[in-house]
Chain A
Amino acid sequence: MSAEARLEIHLRVLSGRVAVVDVASSRRVAAAAAFAGRTADAVSRLLPAVFSLCGTAQGLACRLAVEGSDTLSPARRRALLAETVAEHGTAIARDWPALNGEAPDLAAAKALRAAGRDPAAAARALIVLLGAAPDSILGDAARVLAWAQERDTATARLFAHLVDTGLADFGTAVFAPMPAGGPPDLARRLAEDGESYLARPDCAGVVFETGPLARRHAHPLVAALMGQWGNGLVPRLAARLVEVAAALADMLSMETTDDPPPPAHATGTGVGVVEAARGLLAHHVELAEGLVTRYRILAPTEWNFHPAGPLVRGLTGAVAGPDIERRARLLVAALDPCVACEVTCTR
């Protein structure tokens, strides 16, 4: 059995439209059960190594859970922002150009991945990717459209391509953004429900979308773009640009010295919730005499790539031209799974 998990999305086309979207996931959503028997400190050390791409968020969700806290200290918040910049920055610099047949900007990707060490260099890399200061572009929809049509950078040309080919609103469907702090029943369901909740979460039947668009849908630019193109591709990608720019601005202005963290509880139950780059990440821990007796993790990919989640909602009913697989891959890239994702189609 391979240790590397993946998602497989299969589209079934009937009468020229996507009738059914099947999602198969080999993600080991219950792997955290194997933390049982370790100390809380050992788990919080191990998590960043085991979940490297979101390792900071995983480590922090663990600390909040074992400390019984719901607030990140300034230094922890800065570390989380750096990971958000690194993950979205890598996508913008390395993966987005390929969506439009262009070469990646690896120098910019490297600088954005190193945002924690050098946020000023990361901010300069974002300016290179956009071709101008983020504030000068991400102010309102008209400026974004003008910037896209000037086509000065690969990022702008991707936006222009989506607008010009009628894909700006591709994937528009019912929008159910994750509430701030998570669903109201999160703690209870993490404690009481079986593994099916970790694999296919919901809240009273609603499968929320989590991540940049859910967090930023009230931002004036994102709201304006959603007014034009719903929760389609352009508003989704714009929300990620807004998020990276905002995270870098926060990092450059914030205080980063901390008091020593509180100790982990020895006994009891805790939930730690953080907004990771890809969305809401929740940890549930049960401790007895300093050792973990039960550990559960609910990750953003399980909401966004849920069989009734935003990807499936966005694809179901779509007109299936000859390029439906490519359009589906664009929506997958916009929703940004944390594992490889294959798209196939039968007609």
Chain B
Amino acid sequence: MAVPSRVVAIANGIATVEAFGDTRMTSLMLLGDDVAIGDYVILGPGGSFAAEKVSEERALEALAFMAEVLASGQA
């Protein structure tokens, strides 16, 4: 599953993003200048690059599903 992460800060093309309480840094270089604080991005494998910007509606829908999966303990 690809976890949508919310951008909480941006500096020099590097975003600080948050998902499920975890904060991490990721490069926005693949996405260009159209990412702002509050946007949601999907990180590529390993998390060093943000691979895609997603709408808030789609991100929240996916996060709600993932929270359900995590809560249910699905392997």
Q: Residues 23-46 of chain A: 1 if any B CB is under 8 Å from the residue's CB, otherwise 0?
A: 000001111011000000000011
Question: In the docked arrangement, what's the CA distance between A304 and B53, Å?
Answer: 28
What residues of A have a CB within 8 angstroms of the CB of B47 in the complex? 4, 340
Binary per-residue interface labels of chain B (27-58) against chain A in the complex, 1 for a CB within 8 Å, 0 otherwise: 00110100000000011111101011010001
- Find chain B residues with CB under 8 A from A94 CB: 30, 49
- Option from B2, B20, B61, B74 in Cβ contact (under 8 Å) with A28: B74
B-facing residues in A47-61 (Cβ within 8 Å): 48-53, 55
Chain B residue with the shortest CB-CB distance to A106 = B29
**CA gap between A48 and B58 in the complex, in Å:** 9
Interface residue? A337 (CB, 8 A)? yes
Chain B residues bordering chain A, tally (CB within 8 A)? 32
B65's contact among A46, A109, A339, by CB below 8 Å, is which? A46
* Shortest distance from the beta carbon of A343 to any chain B beta carbon, whole Å: 13
Give A255 to B3 CA distance when docked, in angstroms. 34
Contacting residues, chain A, for B69 (C-beta < 8 A):
28, 31, 34
Using Cβ atoms and an 8 Å threshold, which residues of chain B touch A195? Answer: 75
Minimum distance in angstroms from B51 CB to a CB of chain A: 6
Q: Shortest CB–CB separation between residue B45 and chain A, in angstroms?
A: 5
A329 to chain B, nearest CB (A): 12
> Is the pair A34, B72 in contact by a Cβ cutoff of 8 Å?
yes
A5 to B75, CA, bound (A): 11
Contact between A28 and B22, CB atoms less than 8 A apart: no
Determine the residue in chain A with the shortest Cβ distance to B51: A53
Complex CA gap A34/B20 in Å reads 18
Count of chain A to chain B residue pairs whose CB atoms are closer than 8 Å in the complex: 81
Complex Cα gap A340–B26 (Å): 14
Query: B49: shortest Cβ distance to chain A, in Å?
Result: 7
Q: When the two chains form the complex, which single residue of B20, B29, B52, B74 contacts A31, counting CB atoms closer than 8 Å?
A: B74
- Cβ A3 vs Cβ B44 within 8 A: no
Q: Does B11 contact A (CB under 8 A)?
A: no
By a CB distance below 8 angstroms, the chain A residues around B42 are 52-53
Chain B residue numbers with a CB within 8 Å of A30 are 74-75
Q: Do B59 and A49 touch across chains, with their CB atoms under 8 A apart?
A: yes
B74 to nearest A CB, angstroms? 5
Known contacts: A31-B74, A49-B58. The answer to whether A106 contacts B30 by CB under 8 A is: yes
Tell me if A3 and B66 are in contact (CB < 8 A): yes
Q: Which residues of A contact B30 (CB under 8 A)?
A: 90, 94, 106, 109-110, 113
Q: Does A282 have its Cβ within 8 Å of any Cβ on chain B?
A: no
> In the complex, are the beta carbons of A46 and B70 less than 8 A apart?
no
List 27 interface pairs A-B (beta carbons < 8 Å), by A numbering.
Answer: A1-B70, A3-B66, A28-B1, A30-B75, A31-B1, A31-B69, A33-B74, A34-B72, A34-B74, A45-B61, A46-B61, A46-B62, A48-B58, A49-B54, A49-B61, A50-B1, A50-B2, A51-B1, A52-B42, A53-B2, A53-B51, A90-B51, A94-B49, A106-B29, A106-B30, A340-B45, A340-B46
Q: Which residues of A are in contact with B by a Cβ distance under 8 Å?
A: 1-5, 28-31, 33-34, 45-46, 48-53, 55, 90, 94, 106, 109-110, 113, 195, 199, 337-341
